[in-house]
Amino acid sequence: MSVSFLCALLPNAALADNVFTDLEKPVAHPLGQYEELTDSKPHDTDAAWTKLRPATHASWASIDIRYRRNDIPRVKAQDVWSGKAWRGERVNGQALLWTNKALADVEVTATELRSGKNVIPASAVRTNFVRYVMTDELNKDGGGCGYRNAADFDSSVVADVLDINKSLPIARNTTQPIWMNIWVPQDAKPGTYTGQITIKGKDMKAQTLQVSLQVLNRTLPEPQKWSMNLDLWQNPYAVARYYDVPLWSKEHFDAMRPIMKMLADAGQYAITTSIMYKPWNGQTEDHYDSMVTRIKHIDGSWSYDYAVFDKYVDFMMNDVGINRLISCYTMIPWNLSFDYYDEATSRVQFIKAKPGDEAYAEYWGNFLKDFSRHLRQKGWFDKTCIAMDERPMDAMRAAIKVIKDADPEFKISLAGVYHEEIERDLYYYCLAYGYKFPKDVLARRRAEGKISTYYTCCTEGFPNTFTFSAPAEATWMALHAVGGDYDGYLRWSYNSWTRDPLRDSRFRTWAAGDCYCVYPGPRSSIRFERLIEGLQDTEKIIQLRREYKRKGQKAKLE
Amino acid sequence: MSVSFLCALLPNAALADNVFTDLEKPVAHPLGQYEELTDSKPHDTDAAWTKLRPATHASWASIDIRYRRNDIPRVKAQDVWSGKAWRGERVNGQALLWTNKALADVEVTATELRSGKNVIPASAVRTNFVRYVMTDELNKDGGGCGYRNAADFDSSVVADVLDINKSLPIARNTTQPIWMNIWVPQDAKPGTYTGQITIKGKDMKAQTLQVSLQVLNRTLPEPQKWSMNLDLWQNPYAVARYYDVPLWSKEHFDAMRPIMKMLADAGQYAITTSIMYKPWNGQTEDHYDSMVTRIKHIDGSWSYDYAVFDKYVDFMMNDVGINRLISCYTMIPWNLSFDYYDEATSRVQFIKAKPGDEAYAEYWGNFLKDFSRHLRQKGWFDKTCIAMDERPMDAMRAAIKVIKDADPEFKISLAGVYHEEIERDLYYYCLAYGYKFPKDVLARRRAEGKISTYYTCCTEGFPNTFTFSAPAEATWMALHAVGGDYDGYLRWSYNSWTRDPLRDSRFRTWAAGDCYCVYPGPRSSIRFERLIEGLQDTEKIIQLRREYKRKGQKAKLE
């Protein structure tokens, strides 16, 4: 209050303007057509582009490269894309269109794919213009963590967004990538299917590129039956803000539905719920808030209401189809400050207390007893994990005690480094990249039905899924889970969008793209499609291993 | 947010220090012994004081004068205080002790008062040291309203606080007033009672002053049976802050009990309740908050909880004994912003809406329907007034419509100027000083059992009850109610204490003392005792008029 008052008296209006301009300018939140930001990097000259004959080219290209927007692509012209897939698998291709003249109303269409009398319908062949988003780079130390001042980092636009706009103008002297994804129907007959995609527009000759897909006689299960425990944290608050809809309104759920279904289709296990205010101290553009109403009455008693929690969980389970785990964040947040509505003061108040304090045990103990009762009544208790963040051992032990005192059957999760002392208490234990479970512990955990995974975050410069990371790194994330003998992979961010996520993936902390891997619309990304590729590969490995084991094909197993 | 951020970066620490020093210094909140502030006004010299023989004097003096602390009082020495009282009446006297040497452990004791074999016990004779509090002065325009910068106003200490400390050190060269109040028992026998008060201390000869009280053969009813509608608004939030106790805790009620009983003993009618956040836009040091819990659920429905309201009203009615009216502030606050706990965002949110808006009607209509149900269930409905503040006529009419739509039997109150258009809708109508009810309207209102009073506030430079106002002005306030043919008197402030109310009655707005007339402890004041005197006088006039009317003593009536 006194601070604002002081500031209101500041005579230096120019200073104030400078500081506020960026922050307070209203940010449009496009869902349809939008313009990309300008790239300030050097690129192929107008002279080089002018030499291009004919003016417009198209070719298949690599899915491992983020082609630069203002350079002539160095690709060997390739008319035919060839690939193999299991039934039920999604496969990716990337085509490029590059031109030295402005084109209007450019569109891409796909034909059905035919193998004799068998057909994969055109609707299974998705094509998206790949759009460019502003990114930055790693820290000088090679990591991606910490506060960053935009001026200290080199910025450029990179190809990542898979746009949902069906028609685009293409500027002269640019390369426009086109992403193709074929989702082979579960019941497709094996065989080699062919078809084509066609790029049309005003002022250009239609360009046709061939597709040849060999469907193998193997079937990938539906994503929600995959074995790998994928855990990308959802942020419903970012959706409400970007779509400018009231939290938990019908409009909010309508906006979330396709975004969350995309995640379900990647095999997501867990519903991310927040059971307190700012479980991660509001580190994202849109902080998480409590999905639980806690009221402290003037007689000292507490009451709880789960209307938001129930509605969100029910939506995710029964509408979206993510129904294997409910993660509740968090018992030991980074800032030990716990919210409740205080009847006495008619305000939201905060208890500052640490695990081991009586006030901590009262706040959480009371809640968890009621929460257990509620979860059991809903039939959700066995799927629910009370999550902790990494803290000193005595704090984690004190928190575990409070949970177990409230209900000894509560499942508990932790993402952090390996701690032998509490490993047995953790139903879902996710280790930081580089940490391993001892072999015997892992075997026991699997026998007990526990989940043992790994995570990456800003710490790793490589591999990672920043917007400037090489696309294949996303695939590697999933493969490392099977390679490193984990049950799955966690990343903290599915859609914690920045202020203007479609155009600018940079954030006040961490390397660009750390906060999200899908875009409003919803729009998928090169990163997300390549992660799904990796998840499919791990599932294929798991399926094959099972089969070889079942059939005793030892040689193949090794 | 961005403002704080800017400020955090301000390099000018010295500036920040200057600005914050005054505001952020912790303020001690004395309840027992404390030191008064220094007076910077010129006063009698050390030389003048040194001539005083003997060193220490005592005498009765006038209750109409605030004697100056550092001046030798110009009083004719007077050993005997004489007064008259009805049975049940309280009468005031003021004695002075002045000295040119420091005295320690000074105490005042009173004997019982005797009239032959009849006795008024010593406990009925209350004596208090009068303490000095910092005050300021009127605006240059003669009023007391508006924001004030302390440096623009002359300050001085004035005698007002009736201290509860039984023993005080007296500095050399000072005058120490002593207030005497005798509360004549309801069953005292008529006659002239005599006794004395004695002032003792280290380093002084005990001084004895005589008391002679004639008790008349008339009886004043108990305060809660007085006819005049006294309405001084209580501020429970200020008590919680000053006493540093949790709102609505046992400690809070324990602290409020004697403060509110003092008000009950002045004949207070109404319990001041707040049914929204900041009914007066937080104009006091401690803003009023909502005593009602309002929750907006994600399905759009509302629920209400009255735990605080009920506990406070029940306390005031049944513990304190103020039980004739429940005033609920307010339907049209100065800032049209209405609070509720929002289940969706887990936050207290505000609806901005004005009377006539659909959102206003929804917010208030829903609430008032439920409130009516609740009040009827508690048996309080007939005593409850929904209060409005003065607003443009169409706003007041729109608010009245919302109230009547919710329950046509709701009582409504307004403090403002006279409006013929809505007068009939107002059960309790309090006019600004200077406004009159037309005679026929007043007669009709009385026949209908409605309340028609007047109020003063900062507007009036004189008469008023600022800490620098002459004591008799407080008495006049009550007498004007009967003189101006009103049913009572309202002032907005009983105990909206300043930051350091015992020592400094100045506030950021309004002339000093505007916000309160009793002090923490609780301690009464010269102003409050003289107001009670006036209230007693009005009650005596009313009693006598009734008697003369009953007995047809026309001459006496005029």
In chain A, the number of structural domains is: 2
Q: Which of residues 285-344 of B touch A (CB under 8 A)?
A: 289-293, 295, 297-299, 305, 307-308, 311, 339, 341, 343-344
Reported as a single tens digit per residue, the pLDDT across A40-90 is 899 999 999 999 999 999 999 999 999 999 999 999 999 999 999 999 999
Residues of chain A contacting residue B299, judged by C-beta atoms under 8 Å apart: 307
Domain ends where: B452, B473, B495? B452
CA B200 from centre of chain: 32
ipTM of this complex prediction, to 2 decimal places: 0.81
Q: Does A345 touch chain B (CB under 8 A)?
A: yes
Q: What's the CA gap between B478 and B469, in Å, rounded?
A: 15
A19 has pLDDT over 50: no
**One domain for residues A64 and A185:** yes
Q: Looking at the predicted structure, is the pLDDT value of residue B203 above 80?
A: yes
Do B181 and B317 lie in one domain? The reply is no
* Chain A interface includes B246 (CB < 8 A): yes
Q: Confidence band (pLDDT; 50, 70, 90) for B556? A: confident
Inside any domain, residue A249: no
DSSP state of A189: P
Q: Are residues A211 and A285 in the same domain?
A: no
Query: What is the mean predicted confidence (pLDDT) over B100-124?
Result: 98
> Looking at the structure, do residues A350 and A205 belong to the same domain, yes or no?
no
Whether the per-residue pLDDT at B257 is higher than 60: the answer is yes
Domain-located, residue B151: no
Q: Which of A2, A19, A344 sits opposite B6 (nearest CB)?
A: A19
pLDDT the model gives residue A239: 98
Give the pLDDT mean for A479-503.
97
Q: Which domain holds residue B401?
A: 269-452
Interface of A with B in 379-398 (CB under 8 A): none
Q: Closest residue of B to A6, CA-based?
A: B19
Digit-coded pLDDT (tens) for B511-539: 999 999 999 999 999 999 999 999 999 99
A256: in domain: no
Query: Beta strand B270-274 with B325-329: parallel, antiparallel or unpaired?
Result: parallel
Task: Point out the domain boundary residue: B412, B427, B452.
Answer: B452
Q: Does A359 touch chain B (CB under 8 A)?
A: no
Is A396 in the same domain as A278?
A: yes
Closest residue on chain A to B306 (Cα):
A343
Average pLDDT over residues A5-13: 30
Nearest CA in chain A to B287: A345
**How many CA atoms lie less than 13 Å away from A447 in the CB half-sphere?**
7
Q: How far apart are CA A109 and CA A130, in angstroms?
A: 15
Residue A321 shares a structural domain with residue A436: yes
Query: For B521, which DSSP code?
Result: T
In the block, which residue shows the tokens 């031109």? A99
Whether residues A275 and A164 fall in one domain = no
Residue A254 within a domain: no
DSSP A438-473: -HHHHHHHHHTT-EEEEE--TT-SSS---TTS-HHH
- Tell me whether residue B199 is in a domain: yes
Are β-strands A325-329 and A384-389 bridged in parallel, bridged antiparallel, or unpaired?
parallel
On whether both A184 and A310 belong to a single domain, the answer is no
Query: What pLDDT, on the 0 to 100 scale, is given for residue A17?
Result: 34
Total Cβ atoms within 10 A of residue B140: 8
Question: Is the Cβ of A555 closer than 8 Å to some Cβ of chain B?
Answer: no
Does residue B3 surpass a pLDDT of 60? no
Q: Quote the mean pLDDT of chain A.
A: 93
Q: Please identify which residue in the block is written with the tokens 């004005």.
A: B354
Residue B229: strand pairing partners: B488
Q: What is the pLDDT of residue B389?
A: 83
Q: Which of B436, B452, B468 is the last residue of a domain?
A: B452
Give me the residue label for tokens 């608010």.
B399
* Residue A29 included in any domain: no
Alpha carbons within 13 A on the beta-carbon side of A47: 0
Instruction: Please state which of the ranges A280-289, A450-459, B441-450 shows the lowest mean pLDDT.
Output: A280-289
The strand pair at B293-296 and B302-305 is best described as antiparallel
Give how far Cα A161 sits from Cα of A241, A527, B226, Å: 20, 9, 79
SS3 label, residue B402: helix
Residues in chain A: 558
Nearest chain A alpha carbon to B294: A346
Mean per-residue pLDDT, A542-550? 95
Tell me the whole-structure pTM to 2 decimals: 0.86
A285 & A172 share domain = no
The enclosing domain of A116 has a CATH number of 2.60.40.10
Structural domain contains residue B2: no
Same domain for A188 and A324? no
Are B398 and B291 contained in the same domain? yes
Q: Mind listing the pLDDT tens digit for each residue in A273-300?
A: 999 999 998 899 999 999 999 999 999 9
Q: What pLDDT shows up at residue A28? A: 65
Please tell me if residue B102 touches chain A, with a CB cutoff of 8 Å: no
Q: How confident is the model at residue A14 (pLDDT cuts 50, 70, 90)?
A: very low
pLDDT given for residue B23 in this prediction: 42
In the predicted structure, residue B26 carries a pLDDT above the cut 80: no
Q: For B311, which of A19, A289, A298 is closest by C-beta distance?
A: A298
Query: Residue A368: what residue type?
Result: L
**Mean pLDDT over all residues of chain B?**
93
Q: Say if residue A412 is in the same domain as residue A310.
A: yes
Contacts of B297 in chain A (CB under 8 A): 307
Residue B227 forms part of a structural domain: no
CA–CA distance, A86 with A540 (Å, rounded to integer):
9
